[in-house]
Structure 1
Amino acid sequence: MPNTNKAVKYVQILLLAVFTMVICVSSFKSMRANAWFFNAKNTLQTVNVQNNNQQELQLAMEAINIAIELDPKHPHYLQLSAHIKLLQLVAINEANNDILLAYKQTEQLLLKSVAVRKTWAETWIALAQVVSYQEGPSERVYEYIQQAKKVGPYKFDVQLGIIQIALMNWQQLPPKYKALYVNELKLAVKHGHKFARAFEVAKQVEALPILCLSLKFGTHFEPVRTSWIFKKQCK
């Protein structure tokens, strides 16, 4: 009987040791993945997309790819990978198969991210933007926008993303999108100095005149019309 008890104890100790080792290995992998994630984020801080820093973007992409290999389902890593892919495409204007494939890959990364974390508004609006590049102001894009608004109704990045989608597709914008655009514009101006980013977005999609015209009417936009940024951008 004593030998049996000893055997049971040895088995318990062995199982505990194995369990502890598994936890240690898993924790080590998570730490490594997190280190590569911050490596990618820090690299991005040195990037000026307008100067086409593709080399730095590639370094950031390589770092986040390692993080994803170590932790394939982490929503932060998937979202950052998608963000870097979009930055790599900013300086490219040609609509070729490689770019379309990159948009599709970015979409898949964002879908994986929201599957793990459905309450992240920034990921939903990024998904809406990526799909709008491929489909225009489609019903699927509208559904993703509504999901972003549901989980982040007061987030400026969500409002700015909706404004960008509307301006980018202005010539083919359905009535419900135009109503959404006006509503988000009213909400966005309440963020004060942050609204300056809307002018940058409008310039990126070559729709600054549309934004300026939108702001020239209505009491909601009076604070913007008296600002220096409006006078500078909307001459």
Structure 2
Amino acid sequence: MINLSVARLAQIMVLAIVAVILAYQSIHSIRANAWYFNARNTLQQLSSPVDAAQLTRAEAAITLATKLEPTHPHYWHIYANVKILIASNVDGITAQGSDKKQLLYQQAEQALLTSVALRQTWAPTWITLAQLVSYQQGPSEQVYGYIQQAKKVGPHQLDVHLGIIHIALMHWPQLPANYKALYVNALQLAVKHGYRFNAVFALAKKINRLEILCLTLQFSEGFAPVRASYHFKKHCKTPR
């Protein structure tokens, strides 16, 4: 009888310890999620031009989220996005600025690698990783591999198509043939998204590559719906 009581007491103690651990983990998850939403909301409210103070707040919030829940892949993805945004506002002309930008890129890359290690089937992370590494290496084999991973897990996602188009247009002067094939294919797939193709024009305009995009769209019957669109007529001046 005594042994039975001791066994029951031991079971109760084990269950109590498990409950405490679960409660602790739950509190951590709740706090991490709150900091994540704090960072996300701050990013959504960014002014133009970007306010450095807003980025600092977003960086602090998402850093706390990753510390509280370091196995959450999306937190690492957002952390990387914040680092990339900060880097885009750093003057890379001076040696000090160049070093700071490189450090931010390295931190972002490590965060994205952590994210894909935790969640390998999330295409936006793979294509963001490809874009980030392309800033440093250009259209390299490593970047090409990341693009292929993004296409594998998200073959129909517009974000993937846009990322490929962005990489190709950014590095157009030194773009190898295999990348040009990716670029044309991404455009063809983006056409299938209908009015959302307008994002391609916005992207090309932002990086001053409208001329290249418009020239590409002049060819292939597959781009006929785009050539008939308002945005094509607005951005692409065709000779009469």
Shorter-chain TM-score: which interval?
over 0.9
1:192 is aligned, of 182, 185, 194, to 194
- The residue aligned with 1:21 is 20
- The residue aligned with 2:118 is 116
Deviations 1:84-118 (A, max 9, x none): 22222334452511111111111100000000100
User: 1:19 and 1:68, CA in 2 relative to 1: closer, same or farther beyond 3 A?
Assistant: same
- The residue aligned with 1:64 is 62
User: 1:204 and 1:92, CA in 2 relative to 1: closer, same or farther beyond 3 A?
Assistant: farther
Instruction: Please tell me whether the aligned partners of residues 86 and 104 of structure 2 are also in contact (alpha carbons under 8 angstroms).
Output: no
> Cα distance, 1:35 vs. partner?
1.1
For 2:13 and 2:131, how far apart are their aligned partners in 1?
52
For 2:101 and 2:53, how far apart are their aligned partners in 1?
18
Instruction: Please tell me whether the aligned partners of residues 90 and 100 of structure 2 are also in contact (alpha carbons under 8 angstroms).
Output: no
1:225 is aligned, of 224, 227, 230, to 227
> Cα distance, 1:53 vs. partner?
2.1
> Cα distance, 1:25 vs. partner?
0.5
- The residue aligned with 1:127 is 129
For 2:174 and 2:166, how far apart are their aligned partners in 1?
14
What TM-score comes out, normalization by structure 2 length? 0.93
What TM-score comes out, normalization by structure 1 length? 0.95
- The residue aligned with 1:32 is 31
- The residue aligned with 1:84 is 82
- The residue aligned with 1:170 is 172
1:140 is aligned, of 139, 142, 160, to 142
1:106 is aligned, of 105, 108, 122, to 108
> Cα distance, 1:213 vs. partner?
1.0
Instruction: Please tell me whether the aligned partners of residues 76 and 112 of structure 2 are also in contact (alpha carbons under 8 angstroms).
Output: yes
Greater shift in the superposed pair: 151-160 or 192-201: 192-201
**Percentage of matched positions with identical amino acids:** 52
For 1:188 and 1:208, how far apart are their aligned partners in 2?
16
2:92 is aligned, of 86, 91, 94, to 94
For 1:133 and 1:30, how far apart are their aligned partners in 2?
34
3-state SS, counterpart of residue 122 of structure 1: helix
User: 1:10 and 1:21, CA in 2 relative to 1: closer, same or farther beyond 3 A?
Assistant: same
3-state SS, counterpart of residue 51 of structure 1: coil
Gaps of 5+ in 1: none
CA RMSD of aligned residues (A): 1.3
For 1:94 and 1:229, how far apart are their aligned partners in 2?
34
For 2:99 and 2:8, how far apart are their aligned partners in 1?
62
Alignment size in residue pairs? 233
